[in-house]
Amino acid sequence: MRDAVCYTRKTLQVKGDLLDLSTPLVMGILNNTPDSFYDGGKYNNLKSISERAEKMLIEGATFLDIGGYSTRPNAEDISVKEELSRVLPVIKEINRLFPQSYISIDTFRAEVAKAAVQEGACIINDISGGQLDEKMFATVSQLQVPYILMHSRGTPQTMSQMTSYNHILEDLIFYFQDRLHTLKQLSCKDIIVDLGFGFAKTIEQNHFLLHHLPYFKVLNCPILVGVSRKSMIFKKLGIGSQEALNGTTALHALAVKNGASILRVHDVKEAIEVIKLLNLSNS
């Protein structure tokens, strides 16, 4: 691994636009769920969701990641019909109000991903890396949109019991190389990798991976980091998710220093400030 040529793609093709990733971009989290770990139930109608989307875009978010299925540990399983009823009206409304925005659909279901893209989403963010729906990779190939390939194990209901690895860095590299090969065989382009912080990993494993983020540059894919207000912060500090902004900011700085191309966040303004300050210090 040490002798490999390690670099990360610095562009992303979205909606016909070529986005520059040489300076990290921010993805705002917009959940229409009653039970997400931080913002569950906060934005449960089109007005509040649209206002939240507008605020994130004004503060500098490049992407809006819309989800209708909570993926926190032990989250309730819901039907495809219920998930569609939560996300499609939101995507339609945001696309109407902010037609230049880049909307990501946060789902592991191919049927939801396809319907969301048809409604105006332009990125698929799959927490299962295609493992929970065998049709997902073919759907990504058919739709030809960027795909966020995340590492996880099991389901949101079982993942907390699946944290045993032989060697976590090598295990994740093998996982990504295997799935990237399959995606490329299907002519999928613009793949982003996400190490899956908080998914089938202990708090210590999460921090170990964040400190070793440069190891994954060998994949030559943009790296998305999603640590915002997660338990790897608030449980470590003995606080709640509502008090985890300062810890989130600290880890965002580490992620950017270690090569993250996209930060997936609840707090856009603060993440943008981290990127601006680090960009100045690196110039």
Residue 73: the pLDDT is 72
Please tell me which residue in 135, 230, 235, 269 is annotated as part of the active site: 230
Please tell me which residue in 114, 153, 229, 264 is annotated as part of the active site: 264
DSSP-assigned letter for residue 4: S
**Domain boundaries of the chain, sorted by first residue:** 11-282
264 is catalytic: yes
- In terms of phi and psi (left: phi > 0; alpha: psi -120 to 50; beta: otherwise), the region of 92 is alpha
Confidence of residue 5 (pLDDT cuts 50, 70, 90): very low
230 is catalytic: yes
Other C-beta atoms closer than 10 Å to the C-beta of 30 total 25
**pLDDT for 279 beyond 60:** yes
pTM, two decimal places = 0.93
Task: Provide the terminal-to-terminal Cα distance of the chain, rounded to the nearest Å.
Answer: 29
The label of the residue with tokens 């229409």 reads 32
80 in helix, strand or coil? helix
**pLDDT for 35 beyond 80:** no
Residue 2: the pLDDT is 39
For domain 11-282, the CATH architecture is Alpha-Beta Barrel (3.20)
The more confident residue out of 29 and 41 is 29
